[in-house]
Structure 1
Amino acid sequence: MCTSGAITKIFIDNNGVMEVTVGTLAYLNGNKDVYSVLTSAFVANKLVYIYAPNCQPGTSMGGFAVR
């Protein structure tokens, strides 16, 4: 697990890649099928757990869980 907490910011760039920020750490997600889940978690202030093969901020998340 790379980080967990409430999503503080969501941004979709011109290429359609969603940047999800949890606290001060941002990770990328290009899977449009899950954008609604991440947006709902943001609006409802749910806890999000982000997993990635490389936990460096600014890299692609490998997966996530919402609680």
Structure 2
Amino acid sequence: MGDTGVCWDNAGVESLWSTVKHEYCKRHAFTTYAKLHAGLDSYIRFYNHRRRHTSLGKISPIEFEIASRTSQQSS
């Protein structure tokens, strides 16, 4: 993270919430807070476990973490 007030200070978080908003929230209607909470929980699990990320070489973040740990342990 950069210093306070630097334009890219929270760019990663802003990118995540933009993706959540455009890929999930704008495509669903929620009648209760509980349904919204359950839906966001489900989407975040999908985002981390199954969704392929181009910045990670078309693998999920979980697969990337496992591969990183495996390569670090074998070094």
For the criterion TM > 0.5, the same-fold answer is: no
Q: Which has the higher contact order (CA 8 A, sep 6+)?
A: 1
* Structure-1-length-normalised TM-score: 0.27
Q: Which has the larger radius of gyration?
A: 2
* Structure-2-length-normalised TM-score: 0.25
